[in-house]
Amino acid sequence: MQLFESKKGLFILGIIAGIGSAILAFLGNPKNMAFCIACFIRDTAGAMKFHQAEVVQYFRPEIVGIILGAFIISLYKKEYRSTGGSAAPIRFLLGVIMMVCALVFLGCPLRMILRMSSGDISSYIGLVGFVGGVYTGVVFLKKGFSLGRSYTVKKESGYILPVITVVLFVLSITVTSLFAFSKEGPGSMHAPIIASLIVGIVFGIIAQKSRMCFAGSIRDIFLLKDFSLFSIIAGIFVVMLVFNVATNNFKLVSFGPIAHAQTLWNILSMYAVGFAAVLLGGCPLRQLVIASTGSSDSAITVIGMFVGAAFAHNFALASAPAALETAEKAAAIGGPGPNGKIAVIVSIIILFIVAVWGSKKKKEIN
């Protein structure tokens, strides 16, 4: 399997992941949200009634698939390691921040790439902020930033997340009265359950095998001049670009569907997401995968992301999408309201505090 450790092999894995995303978009997922970790967690949190935003409530099988795929392949390849004990409260807080700011942008780094492949200019603006956030994180890594060492714990601790996820998923399709399901909006748009689950499993396997991470790919370029992880992202982008052109979904516009046109807040929100991802050691997708392979620290981060999704909608922090003028409604630029803007600024301040604290702590240990 040496092939899949090379740039060419990683690019192929990216193409396979991209094909999976395209399949889900073709089968019913929103086209520019074909595969978005932040959106899937938001929808799943809504399905479990963590928030009451009726248009984004659906228990996404893709999340279950990612967790199962990463968990199974880690056991098979003997890469499963049950660890914990590295600044869990800080990781929880960073998970909340990463999710809230992703929902201000209206998408995680993966969805940013998918939006870019459909011609959404606002996503390219978000990329500027994301790269800036990753670079800021790299600066602190060079200063010795660390959240502390993780320790080996009982292997059964790492089984909890996959087991709970499967139980909830089974309940969601057998006892539907326990969950909320959107009747309109993005939450009502989804591929068939089996297809979503299968693609999720494949995506989880690929993400674990390739160490796919959107923040990590840019971090490695800054730190090591290594473009290996970037090859995966390039593969996904190429496939989705072809898919969008072929299905007439590519439109070079200032903002696409379920996006907003507030440039400053697109930049600042993704800056915070990139910064938080580097401090945590991975983007939302990577955190989900690491949690699935035994890391209790990343599991705490994932819980933080679910709580962040609830906060974003319960306290009006998430952005509203922009809209073109119609016969019934006036045009709207969308974006965050006052609460969302304050949340982004406070999040960035907290990230700098955590980064400085983690750097000083490392120096004191040395």
CB 4 within 8 A of CB 82: no
* Residue 306 CB neighbours (<10 A): 18
How far is 78 from 28, CA to CA, in rounded Å? 36
Place of tokens 């990230």: 351
What pLDDT is attached to residue 362? 55
Our CA angle for 227, 270, 158, nearest 5°, is 75
Confidence of residue 361 (pLDDT cuts 50, 70, 90): low
Work out the number of other CB atoms within 10 angstroms of the CB of residue 28.
Answer: 15
Q: Is the pLDDT of residue 272 over 90?
A: yes
Q: Give the pLDDT of residue 3.
A: 57
Buried b (16+ CB within 10 A) or exposed e, 162-194: beebeebbeebeeeeeebbbbeebbbbbbbeee
Give the tokens for residue 286. Answer: 């990577």
pLDDT digits (tens, 9 = 90+) for 11-24: 999 999 999 999 99
Q: Is the pLDDT of residue 326 over 80?
A: no
Let me know: does 34 contact 21? Beta carbons within 8 Å. yes
Which pLDDT belongs to residue 237?
96
Is it the case that residue 320 has pLDDT exceeding 80? yes
Name the residue with tokens 């209790």: 296
- pLDDT of 323 reads 81
Contact 296, 151 (CB under 8 A): no
Res. 328: pLDDT tops 90: no
pLDDT at 19: 96
The domain total for the chain is: 1
Specify whether the backbone of 28 is left (phi greater than 0), alpha (psi in -120 to 50) or beta: left
Q: Which two tokens stand for residue 32?
A: 């520019």
Tokens 């409604």 correspond to what residue?
A: 329
Residues counted in the chain = 366
Helix or strand (DSSP H, E) at 253:
none
Please, what is the angle between helix 61-76 and helix 160-174, to 10°? 140
- Taking 60 as the threshold, does the pLDDT of residue 225 lie above it? yes
Lowest mean pLDDT among 75-89, 101-115, 216-230, 319-333: 319-333
**What pLDDT, on a 0 to 100 scale, did the predictor assign at position 257?**
81
Cα distances from 113 to residues 32, 63, 241, 265, in angstroms, run 9, 19, 10, 18
Measured CA to CA, the distance from residue 108 to residue 130 in angstroms comes to 10
In order of 21, 56, 197, 229, the CA distances from 8 in angstroms are 20, 37, 27, 11
Angstrom distance (rounded) from CA 111 to CA 261: 16
Kindly provide the residue ranges of all beta strands, DSSP E only, lying in the chain, ordered along the sequence. Answer: 83-84, 151-152
Percent of the chain topping pLDDT 90: 85
Give this prediction's pTM. 0.94
Query: What is the rounded average pLDDT for all residues in the chain?
Result: 93
**CA–CA dist 178, 168 (Å, integer):** 10
Q: Taking the CB of residue 3, how many other CB atoms lie within 10 A of it? A: 10
Q: What is the model's pLDDT at position 324?
A: 75
Section 328-356 average pLDDT = 92
Question: Which residue shows structure tokens 């945590």?
Answer: 280
Least confident of 116-125, 172-181, 353-362: 353-362
- Side chain identity, residue 208: Q
- Whether 366 has a pLDDT exceeding 70, the answer reads no
The one-letter amino acid code at 264 reads: L
CB 35 within 8 A of CB 20: yes
Whether 258 shows a pLDDT value over 90: the answer reads: no
Q: What does the pLDDT look like over 303-312, one tens digit per residue?
A: 999 999 999 9
Cα–Cα distance list, 116 to 112, 122, 251 (Å): 6, 8, 10
Binning pLDDT at 50, 70 and 90, where does residue 280 land?
A: very high
Tell me what percent of the residues of the chain surpass a pLDDT of 70.
96
Q: What is the pLDDT of residue 327?
A: 60
DSSP codes, 172-201: HHH-GGGS---SSSGGG----HHHHHHHHH
Cα–chain center distance at 330: 32
- How far apart CA 132 and CA 327 sit, in angstroms, is 40
Containing structural domain, residue 131: 2-365
Nearest to 60 by CA among 196, 163, 205: 196
